[in-house]
Each structure stands twice: as C-alpha cells, then as structure tokens.
Amino acid sequence: MNTLDIRNLSVRVAGNEILKNFSLTIPKGEVHAIMGPNGTGKSTLAKALAGHEDYEITGGDVLLDGTSILELEPDERSRSGLFMAFQYPSEIPGVSIANFIRAALQARLAEGEELEATKYYKRLYEKMDLLSIDRKFTARSVNEGFSGGEKKRCEILQLAMLEPKYAILDETDSGLDIDALKVVAHGVNTLRSQNMGVLLITHYQRLLNYIVPDRVHVMYDGRIVKSGPKELALELEANGYEWVRDHATATA
C-alpha cells in the first residue's frame, strides 16, 4: 500500500493516444528514474498524473497508497501528497517564494487553522540551510527572471517544505546547465528518505551520475520497455535509444 501505483494507464492528448497501458510502481523510500527519447510521452505521464485538463485518461488507474487519485482536482492531488516539478515552471510575478510556499502550506491546514509565521520562517530557514540556499532568495518572485539553477532551487525548496509522499520531477531535456543539475542532485540526495518515493524523469544519463536511482526504467512509444538496476542507465548511454527501439520492436 505504500506505493504510487500506475496501472495500465492510457492517456490521449489532442486526439492521439500517447500513453499506452503504462504501468509502473514506485514504493515509498525509493528513487526511480525514467529515461527515454524525445516525444516518447515522459512529460505526458507527469502532466496526466498532475491532473492537467488537456490529458484525457482513457484507461487504467493511479493509486496513491491504495486510493485512486484520478477523480481528484490537481490541487487535491497535491494535498494528498503528490508533488510535481515541471520542465517549464510558471512565473508568478509579485509573489515571493516565501509567500508562495506559505500559501501552499496554509492550504493544507484544516479550516480555521492558521500557519504560525515564526514557526514557518524557522522551518523555512532550516530547510534552506540544509539545502545550502541563500536566505535572500526567498524574497524573489517565483521563477521571475530565474536562471535554470534558480528555478531548480525554488523547486527543491518547495519539495523540502511540502514533504510530499511522492515527488515527480520532470527534468529538462536540454539546457540543464551544470549548476541546475547539481542543485537537483544535491536536493534529491539530501531529501531522499523512507517517507518519500521519487520519480525522476530525464533524457540524459548525466543526471544519474549525481543521483543514483534504485531502479531505472526505459520508456519508448508510451510505455516502459525495459527496467533494471542503476547500471541500465550506463548501458543505455553506451548503446543509445536505437538499442531500446530495436528491443521494443522485438518484444512488441
């Protein structure tokens, strides 16, 4: 029951079936990586899990600790313990990071309950120290004019503060500079725990030099075609996605 269980999920986008009977189970306490070529449906998976309205579920189910989340609105999914970090995060001009995270935490409390400001800032600063983030950073508007590394810092700080049960991180396919890469790696490695399952979506093997996953899954044409231990990422780097495609065709 302590899993994020994606069962035979099929998802249609703009009239095309992109995910086809996609199945994957992420146990709490583990870090799983999904790798795959561009256009294979990795971001579609993340968006469908988040409950994005453009992504129509045509089959299957998603169970969070045994309970289906498919009928929940995006904000309800978030409050039930699912955290999403997207490839292209939105800018929120005029809203500081500190106030943004505070509002998200406040929304998780019961009606009439008030998040205590002193306690909130104490915890925020503790997490920032843990993640080596400069305190001045929280006064900046969310993602406004941020560098790649700063966007990742903002994302990882949200992750640390919200303490989700499952985190899905959709990493950029290109332009992830070394600073951004290290922020994500340091963040995930620091926050890894028995209480959280992580799904790391990535195009490049390079990120997995810094974050060692418990399991690697290769996605091709809307489904997982191969799963294995961390060494699978190296195999993939050596042989390329052609190798996976041939494998997928052979077993289809």
User: Can you give the binding site for ligand ADP, defined by CB under 6 A?
Assistant: 13-14, 18, 36, 38-44, 54
Which among ligand ADP, Mg ion, none contacts residue 40 (Cβ within 5 to 8 A by kind)?
ligand ADP
**Which is nearer to Mg ion, 43 or 158 (by Cβ)?**
43
**Which is nearer to ligand ADP, 56 or 179 (by Cβ)?**
56
Which among Mg ion, ligand ADP, none contacts residue 106 (Cβ within 5 to 8 A by kind)?
none
Q: How far is the CB of 40 from ligand ADP (least distance, A)?
A: 4
Tokens of 126: 């503790």
Binding Mg ion by CB under 5 A: which of 28, 32, 42, 215? 42
Q: Which stretch binds Mg ion (CB under 5 A): 17-25, 36-44, 109-117, 180-188?
A: 36-44
Q: How many angstroms separate the Cα of 97 from the Cα of each of 31, 137, 142?
A: 26, 8, 5
**Which is nearer to ligand ADP, 39 or 229 (by Cβ)?**
39
Q: Does 215 bind Mg ion (CB under 5 A)?
A: no
Tokens of 224: 């997982």
Q: How far is the CB of 19 from ligand ADP (least distance, A)?
A: 8
Number of residues that bind Mg ion (CB under 5 A): 2
Q: How many angstroms separate the Cα of 86 from the Cα of each of 42, 126, 138, 217?
A: 11, 25, 20, 19
Whether the Cβ atoms of residue 55 and residue 13 lie closer than 8 Å to each other: yes
One-letter identity of residue 206? R
Q: Which stretch binds Mg ion (CB under 5 A): 40-48, 128-136, 222-230, 239-247?
A: 40-48
> How many whole angstroms from its chain centre is CA 145?
22
**Which is nearer to ligand ADP, 42 or 217 (by Cβ)?**
42
**Which is nearer to Mg ion, 28 or 217 (by Cβ)?**
217
Q: To which H or E segment does residue 89 belong? A: none
CB atoms within 10 A of CB 117: 9
The binding site for Mg ion (CB under 5 A) comprises: 42-43
